[in-house]
Every structure is written in structure tokens, then in C-alpha cells.
Amino acid sequence: MKILVTGGLGFIGSHTCVELAKEDNEVIIVDNLYNSKEEVLEKIEKISGKKFKLYKYDLKDKEKIKKVFEEEKNIEAVIHFAGYKAVGESVKKPLMYYSNNIITTTNLLEIMHEYNVKKFVFSSSATVYGEQETPKYVETMKRGETTSPYGTTKAMIEKILEDLYFSDNSWNISILRYFNPVGAHESGLIGEEPNGIPNNLMPYIMKVASGKLETLSIFGNDYPTPDGTGVRDYIHVVDLAKGHVQALKKMKQGLKVYNLGSGKGVSVLELVTTFEKVNNIKLNYKIAQRRPGDLPEYFADSQKALKELDWKTEKTIEDICRDAWNYEKNNA
Ligand code: NAD
Ligand code: UD1
């Protein structure tokens, strides 16, 4: 298959390009390098032994997207990763998020329609569930109240895709709701590189382990969870990447929504102690106040992806901790 991957040099996109190339797909990347580096291209070529064509274009520029479809002729499917993803920043700069995330998507869909390319995979997030009555989130639940403009862009795009499919059911659309993507490629060549001081747990652990930040604050130990700390469903980015390959392989006409998660909740303390054990490193941490807006616990019901995509996570929390640290050491 000839596949266009937007945001293909980013954290999840780069790992997905590698997995797609492994299955002999031809992969075209569009990325404006807003949150990635061009050297990632060489790295994914090195890992996979395949070549990728890169268009350094901004997807907000519709004419540029058109140029890609014109030049490439027979693109069969699009996986759309490109977008902004920092929750805190989206609260401060909502227009920047609405503009980049929504406009890139509608531009892309309009051009796809024009070129009669109707297979679309979208990077959504578990954040669209908001708070539910039970911590195990299943696709049949209604979307909840989002807690940030970032989350709202994901919910809005899901709605746009539903409306599009309703208007023209020749589309094949897979909405993938990621839980907490972490880890890195086992080669140590590609991984997650947040700018500045990280907000998310795993990147913060990396900075404390490497001595760049002093202490990890564990946000609350009085939640109604087994050890009192927050529980999430951490998914290794390579498993997540493989989920995209399966979503394309098993794609049927229609609009489908899938959770991509392990189905298992892991607490902050469990993640910290696993990291210490696997890597033989002592992490400095302290218990701090709860972070406003955090939910105590949620994880994926991953049965639908297993049944319909023949996909489940294979890597463990130990793999996640080892691979993330391996990447950090190689790139610090
Ligand atoms: P990332 O920032 O590492 O990758 C996104 C890529 O898109 C970057 O390389 C960036 O340069 C590019 N990009 C952004 N705006 C663009 C534009 N206008 N034109 C062209 N390229 C543009 O993010 P990621 O972690 O790989 O996430 C990929 C997708 O998955 C995002 O849509 C994100 O919201 C979603 N998602 C991520 C997580 C997570 O925890 N990482 C969780 C749920 C959903
Ligand atoms: C957040 C976003 C989600 C996004 C995801 C990216 C919200 C509501 N959700 O999820 O949309 O897709 O990041 O992975 O913002 N923690 C600490 N100390 C830290 C950092 C985090 O104890 O320094 C705890 C949090 O309280 C939480 C867990 O670690 O219990 C995971 O936090 P984080 O990695 O930020 O992800 P989420 O908040 O689950």
C-alpha cells in the first residue's frame, strides 16, 4: 500500500513509519518539523532499511497538501498524526490548538475527497471519554466532558469524521483512542523528546533519572486506588505503532472507533518502582499535592481491538521502562 503519514517524524508517527515499512508499505511523510527533527528520517531509514519520502510542508496550507496528492498520484490511505498535543499549552493558547488541529484535518479530508482517497486513520485520545462512572473505558461509552482545548479538538474531530461518514458512507475511517503512549524503539534511535520541562510522567522520570531534574513529584497518594497514586494504562509506542498497521490491514467500509491500550491499569508508584528495578537506578521522588483535573484511575477495555483488529499489546511495563531509559541514555 502507498500510505501518507502526517506527523510521521513525531514520537508515535516515527515508530509507525518503521512498522509500516516492515510490512512493505510505501510510506510518504508530511511533517513541518514543528515538534520533530529532520534527523529522525535518517534514523527510521536506518532501523527499517527502507527509504521514506518527506515533504516538509505545513498541513494548514491546503495547496501544499494538494501538491503531495498530485505528485504521489496513487496514495491509498492516510494516517493523520500531525497536530499539537500539549494539554497545558492548549489551555493558554486555545486558538493555536483549534486552528492547527482542526484546520489541518479538514484540509486533509477535503483534498482526500477531491482525489478519491477514502481510507483515514485518526489519532484520537482516551481524553475524549472525560470522566466516566467506571474506570474501564469502553468504546460504547458516550464521549464525556473534555478538560482542555486539546481534548476538545480530539472530540471535535471525531464528530467531524462522524458527520463526514454520515454524508458519504464510502469512507473507511478508523478512530484510534490512545491511552498513555510511552517507551521508545528498542534500538535507542527514536523516542520521545518533549521540549522544556516535561508535564507527563514518563518523560519527567527520564529527566530525574538522568540528573537533569532533581525530584519527581508524585501528584497525590490519597486517591481511591490500591496504593493511593493515580492509575493509567501505559502502552509501549511500538505496540501502538503496530495497532496502526492492523487498523489499516483490517479496515472495512464504515467508521470504527478502537481503544488502543493494554487493558491494565498501573499506578504511578508501580511505574516508578519498576523503573528503578529494571534499570537499577534510584529515583528521587516526593509525594506532592494532587494535580488539578487529574482523574484517579482509568484504563482501556481492549477487547474490541483484539476481536476486530487482531491486536493486543505484547510489551510489558518492564520493556517500557528499559526502552525509555535506553533512548534517554543514547540521546542525553
Ligand atoms: P508529536 O508532536 O511527537 O508528533 C506530531 C508531529 O506532527 C510532529 O512531528 C510535528 O512536527 C507535526 N506537525 C504538527 N503540526 C503540523 C502541521 N500543521 N503540519 C505538518 N506537521 C505538523 O506527537 P505524538 O506524541 O507523536 O502524537 C501524534 C498524535 O497522536 C497527535 O495527534 C496527538 O495528539 C495524538 N496523541 C498523542 C498522545 C501522546 O501521549 N503522545 C496521546 C493521545 C493522542
Ligand atoms: C495526559 C493528558 C492526555 C494525554 C496524555 C499524554 C490530561 C487530562 N490528559 O494524560 O490527554 O493524551 O497526558 O500521555 O491532561 N504524574 C505524577 N507526576 C508527574 C506527572 C504525572 O505523579 O510529574 C501522574 C499523574 O497525576 C497521572 C499519571 O502520572 O496520575 C500520568 O500522568 P501523565 O503522564 O501526565 O498523563 P495523563 O494525565 O494520564
- The pLDDT, as a whole number, for residue 195 is 83
Q: Can you give the pLDDT at residue 11?
A: 98
How far is residue 220 from each of residues 208, 224, 266, 268, 286, measured CA to CA in Å?
Answer: 18, 11, 15, 10, 10
CA–CA separation, 177 and 234 (whole Å): 13
Question: Each residue's pLDDT tens digit in the chain (332 positions)?
Answer: 999 999 999 999 999 999 999 999 999 999 999 999 999 999 999 999 999 999 999 999 999 999 999 999 999 999 999 999 999 999 999 999 999 999 999 999 999 999 999 999 999 999 999 999 999 999 999 999 999 999 999 999 999 999 999 999 999 999 999 999 999 999 999 999 888 899 999 999 999 999 999 999 999 999 999 999 999 999 999 999 999 999 999 998 899 999 999 999 999 999 999 999 999 999 999 999 999 999 999 999 999 999 999 999 999 999 999 999 999 999 87
Nearest ligand to the CA of 225 is 2
Q: Are 78 and 68 spatial neighbours (Cβ–Cβ below 8 Å)?
A: no
Q: Is 142 exposed, middle or buried (0-12, 13-18, 19+ CB in 10 A)?
A: exposed
Distance between CA atoms of residues 276 and 321, nearest Å = 9
Name the residue of 4, 30, 34 to mutate for ligand 1: max ligand atoms within 8 A of Cβ. 34
Atom of ligand 1 nearest to the CA of 127: 43
> CB-based contacts of 234: which residues, under 8 Å, 6+ apart?
179, 180, 182, 183, 202, 262, 266, 271, 317, 320
Radius of gyration of the chain measured on its C-alpha atoms: 19
CA distance 257 to 15: 21
| C-alpha span between 35 and 18 (Å, rounded) | 19
The overall longest dimension of the chain from CA atoms, in Å, is 57
What's 47-60 look like in SS3? HHCCCCEEECCCCC
Please tell me which residue in 137, 150, 204, 234 is annotated as part of the active site: 150
Cell of 74: 496513487
Total H helices, total E strands in the chain: 12, 15
Segments in 37-186 forming alpha helices (H): 39-48, 62-72, 87-92, 94-97, 104-114, 149-167
154 CB less than 6 Å from ligand 2?
no
Enumerate the H helices of 174-316 as residue ranges. Answer: 201-209, 237-249, 268-279, 303-304
**Dist. CA 103–CA 188, nearest whole Å:** 34
Residue nearest to atom 8 of ligand 2 (CA): 294
Q: Which atom of ligand 2 is nearest to the CA of 216?
A: 23
pLDDT at position 214: 97
327 Cα to the center of ligand 1, angstroms: 19
For residue 244, give the ligand nearest its CA: 1
3-class SS shares of the chain: helix, strand, coil, % to 5 = 40, 20, 40
Residue 16 to residue 24: CA distance in whole angstroms: 13
Q: Is the pTM of this model over 0.95?
A: yes
258 is catalytic: no
Q: What are phi and psi of 76, to 5 degrees?
A: -100, -30
Task: Report pLDDT for 157.
Answer: 98
